[in-house]
Copies of this chain bind each other. A is one copy, B any other.
């Protein structure tokens, strides 16, 4: 339950806060909603769920189809194990939400933190966004220094790769700037639940309205 699985813990608690769920669905949500940046496997998820139950933050609501007390998840006809957030788990999540330490803006954590921004205060959001931005600016500085140092020695393709990498980071900084600006504008007004139209762009192609 260290660095990486801390993210998983956070995401699981956050998702279960909205509604009880079983492992399979939890994993699907993780890898679609939040999963553009992160992917988790069953090999991580199931042990994590067990650990969270152990901690008392989750409770199992075994949806047994059979009354047979001998039934186990393997022998039982259909053994969904539904997980529900306990009061302690809710507290734990609030606690994690309020944390704005450096962990919150590292690559591994930031995406998931952002996905749950709607459940926290603007103070916290601002701190995380600004922390992330300064983290990326540090990285940019290093990349620039490194490129200045090595630019002559490098292959054209290697250079192009570095250029593209740097542009990606620069782009993310611009994105953060817009978000921060958007949070600032919201100040004093009603407590709003999202970035205020920093991007008013068109949605995905409406011809693709598959409900599949």
**Does B34 lie within 8 Å of A115, measured CB to CB?**
no
Tell me if B33 and A156 are in contact (CB < 8 A): no
| A50 interface hit (Cβ, 8 Å) | no
Chain B residues in 8 Å Cβ range of A65: none
Task: Find out whether the CB atom of A118 lies under 8 angstroms from the CB atom of B163.
Answer: no
Closest to A114 in B: B161
Copies in the complex: 2
Q: A212-B145, A212-B149 are in contact. Are A36 and B166 (CB under 8 A)?
A: yes
Binding stretch for chain B, among A66-74, A89-97, A202-210? A202-210
The digit string for A104-135, where 1 denotes a CB below 8 A from any CB of B, is: 00000001001111100000000000000000
The residues in A between 152 and 206 inclusive whose CB is less than 8 angstroms from any CB of B are 154-166, 168, 171, 175, 179, 193-195, 198-199, 201, 203-205
A37 at the interface (CB under 8 A from B): yes
Rounded to whole Å, the gap between the CB of A109 and the closest CB of chain B is: 13
Apart from A33-B162, A118-B156, what are 6 other A-B pairs with CB-CB below 8 Å?
A37-B165, A156-B193, A157-B194, A160-B179, A163-B199, A163-B201
